[in-house]
Amino acid sequence: MSMELMDEHEQGERVRAWLRENGASIVTGIAIGIAAIGGWQWWNAKERNRALEASSQFVAMTSAVEGGDRELAAKVAEVLSAEYERTPYAVLAGLTQAELQLEAGETQAAVETLAAARAQAADPLLADFTAVRLARAQIAAGNPQAALELLEGFKRGTALNARGDALLALGRNDEAVAAYKAALEDMDETLPTRRLVELKLLDLGVNNEEDEAQG
């Protein structure tokens, strides 16, 4: 597994951990706006229970993944997507399922899974993260133009890095260099992905450290 994928996987783990801890609070935040409509106590209890059920399903999925039971993991992901689409766990299940599909070389299936997950992502942070993963899946599936269009307007380093990869796949090397340089500007110096981006620039004949020193 490449440094880039390891780093994105680590980011995904942090997102999943955060949502496991805060998923119920997200639902509660939505509930506050609906309270004035009436039926607050009933609605709150119902949605809290759904969040807990979804959390349990997602834990079951991760256990299946860790146990190597891909078939069970896929079934649980389908349940989360169909029955708990209003919870963040449906999106996390899609991300996990797509990762398994990419590892198996099922790139088009991963694209479809991530597209569905992105459509369900209500939280902006999770939606952006899913969009970047979808763009990478599109590149892996041989659709760099689709990835490029998907990343239009993104400013974060991970997205700009993926944008550079899409441009490179399209043979637009000068634009790829610009995207990689922009990605470095947003990346912490301790991030493993930063070194990978620097190596990509070196492969393109650009020494970013020398450019910075001259600048």
Among 145, 125, 74, 78, CA closest to 104: 74
Structure tokens given for 38: 């009436």
Examine the pLDDT at 4 and tell me if it is beyond 70.
no
CB 6 within 8 A of CB 192: yes
Question: Are 134 and 151 in a shared domain?
Answer: no
d(CA 46, CA 52): 10
Q: Same structural domain for residues 161 and 211?
A: yes
Show the domain range for 114: 1-142
Residue ending a domain, choose from 113, 142, 171: 142
Q: pLDDT (tens digit, 9 = 90+) per residue, 139-197?
A: 999 999 999 999 999 999 999 999 999 999 999 999 999 999 999 999 988 888 899 99
- My answer on whether 43 and 134 are in the same domain is yes
pTM equals 0.74
Q: How high is the pLDDT of residue 29?
A: 46
- CATH no. for residue 68? 1.25.40
pLDDT for position 201: 95
Q: How many domains does the chain have?
A: 2
| Digit-coded pLDDT (tens) for 74-132 | 999 999 999 988 788 899 999 999 999 999 999 999 999 999 999 999 888 889 999 99
